A and B are shown apart, each in its own frame.
Chain A
Amino acid sequence: MRILMKTILSSIVLLCSAPGFSQPDFDNIDIHTLKVRNNIYMLVGAGGNITAQVGDDGILIVDTQYAEMSDKILAALQEISGGAALRYIINTHVHGDHVGGNVNLARSGATISGGNMRRDVTGQSAAIIAHESVLLRLTTTDAGSTMDVDGWPTSSYFEGKKDIYFNGEGVRIMHQPRAHTDGDSIVYFRKSDVIATGDVYRTDAYPFIDIATGGTIQGFLNAAQAIIDQIIPVYGQDGGTLVIPGHGRLSDFGDVLNWREMLTIIHDRVKDLKDQGLSLEEVLEAKPSLDYDPRYGDSERFITAVYQTL
């Protein structure tokens, strides 16, 4: 019971570190599973989308949503995998709606270990991979993190990328510096030709540039370009490389192009106004995102962050 309480508490703390995400009504939210391609699935529920890769080696997932959703997520994983073990968790960034289920889900699984590779002498759990900035933030208790050690991404990486080979395909984890946060990763499943982006790309709202954790508009633009650089579209641009966003619907080349176009145009307008000497209040009054607001919603937080990180 104490462990459960601690888990829930930690997810609440992390949730608070990601302004803009209101507390969902977990009891009334189900996990919906969408087969993306081959053995890749997209799990939609509360918080960020989960990408699941299943196969003979077990299960690899990207992100874990909230702790309160863990039982439902595990049930969904059981269903699509036929009861395989969870081996790897990859966190795209530090926010609570993406790492909140780390503890529960990691404890439910077991990484493959042996010889000189022992994850933990006290017990088995799935390995958690993330950029080292995520680990640093989750272990910095004086900054408010209370996540149990079992939820820490101790298999962190600190260079540009990390590769693993799992279920018969190469999985490339690529750091996107200072975009949504300072620890963003996108995950490319090379054989299935699917990219899980985390929150550097979403379809349901304007980008959230979390300045407190190192996010910038230029990082967002770079990340959009990095995703596009990995994509090879099919004729007509419907299909080819598929993209699972941090939030929203399954996408492909054309969708990410539209996203980059929106980011660039608003960036250029805000920069132009700022270069003219306009204050933030004056820029907001000029409505530089008027043409995209009906699609992406309230832009004040986004425009403010663009202005502040130019």
Chain B
Amino acid sequence: MCKSRPYLPHLLLFFLSACYVTTASAQTNLGGVWLADYTEDRGDRIPGPALGDYGGLPLNDANRLRAQSWSASLLGLPEYQCRVHPSDYAHSFNNINLREERDPRTLELIAIHLEHFTWQTRRVIWMDGREHPPEYAAHTSMGFSTGEWLGHKLKVTTTHLKEGWLRRNGVARSDQASVTEYFIRHGNLLVWTVIVDDPVYLEEPIIRNRNYNYSTEVQILTYPCESVIEIVHEPGYIPHYLPGNTPYLFEFADSYNIPHQATLGGAATMYPEYRKFLLDLPSPSTTQNQE
């Protein structure tokens, strides 16, 4: 019995070490280059959405008017040409690089850096427990992000975003939005879930998933942008349509014979039950035949 006593501290140490290893291993290593897999919402991402297609987006009346007033000519203005995709939209495009930043002495995780190929934007996800800045601090296209591990999942909370867009046909996302993300690694597959909660422009939060594949062969390249004057306008010129004067608004609906109301978006259009509702709506061909 006495001989076994010296082993007790060793046993305790063993269990403590095991606990530590378990905790450390719960932090999945996300580092490396990941290639975008366009298996979801492909048409919406590449080549991009049609004018007037807001279906499946929980946008409210204010955002609908905002989108219907939008003119693609806005993107031709020099000051709009190099606007980068905001961080809650950039995940829909192209490859990314995730890189850990660790304290060189303690090896504690300080931050995870995320680089997008598209627009060459860079995010920092702070993992050191710091607070988000006060409301009067600047907002950026990437926002201010903090992360925490939930088991093997990385949960990221982002605030301080500049005004951005939810779909690049004029659907806005306000600078009051907050974003919750989950990064879940399954071997060489990364599932990236983005939940946008915008009290200004959304009736409900919107949830999007994107898949990425791990790569050992690809590097993130540069993505320069330089503004040029393509058409000379008076200073302060902002192209937009007055309410009720937007052409092509239902071109998309008509070409696919979709009821106009279904393309206007709203929370209801996100749910499967909307299909039943669709059956009762007049389709463009029905309307034309009646005419």
Contact = CB atoms under 8 A, between A and B. Distances in A.
Interface of A: 32, 34, 42, 44, 49, 221-222, 224-225, 228-229, 235-238, 242, 248-255, 257-258, 260-261, 264-265, 268-269, 272, 288, 290-295
Contacts of B79: 228, 253, 257
Nearest to A250: B138
A295 B236 CA distance: 22
Contact of B142 (A42, A238, A260, A288): A238
Given A34-B137, A260-B238, A269-B242, A236 B62 contact: no
- Tell which of B82, B119, B136 has the most Cβ of chain A within 10 Å: B136
Contact of A34 (B136, B139, B175): B136
Contacts of A253: 79
Given A265-B238, A291-B63, 18 more contacts: A34-B137, A229-B235, A235-B82, A235-B225, A238-B162, A248-B136, A250-B137, A254-B83, A254-B163, A255-B175, A264-B236, A264-B240, A291-B65, A292-B66, A293-B62, A294-B60, A294-B201, A295-B176
Contacts of B134: 32, 34, 44
B75 to A, nearest CB: 12
B178 to A, nearest CB: 15
Interface residues of B, number: 40
Interface string B100-133: 0000000000000000000111000000000000
A206 B224 CA distance: 35
A225 B238 CA distance: 12
27 contacts: A34-B136, A225-B236, A235-B120, A236-B84, A236-B120, A237-B82, A237-B83, A237-B84, A249-B135, A249-B138, A251-B139, A252-B138, A258-B162, A258-B175, A261-B238, A264-B238, A264-B240, A268-B242, A290-B61, A291-B63, A291-B66, A291-B69, A294-B60, A294-B62, A294-B201, A295-B174, A295-B176
Contacts of B60: 294
A154 B122 CA distance: 48
B191 interface: no
Contacts of A228: 79
A265 B83 CA distance: 20
B243 interface: yes
B268 interface: no
Contact of A258 (B69, B137, B163): B163
Contacts of B189: none
A254 B141 contact: yes
B69 A255 contact: no
A272 B243 CA distance: 10
Contacts of B84: 236-237
Contacts of A265: 69, 238, 240
Interface in B196-238: 199-201, 224-225, 235-236, 238
B80 interface: yes
Closest 7 CB pairs of A and B: A291-B66, A291-B65, A264-B238, A250-B138, A238-B140, A294-B200, A225-B236
Contacts of A49: 136
Contacts of A292: 62, 66
Nearest to B83: A237
A255 B66 contact: no
Contacts of A291: 62-63, 65-66, 69
Contacts of B80: 257
A260 B236 CA distance: 8
A263 to B, nearest CB: 9
Contacts of A272: 242
Nearest to B160: A249
A48 to B, nearest CB: 12
Contact of B119 (A222, A236, A257): A236
A293 B199 CA distance: 12
A242 B135 CA distance: 16
Contacts of A257: 79-80
Contacts of B162: 238, 254-255, 258
Contact of B240 (A236, A237, A268, A293): A268
Nearest to A259: B163
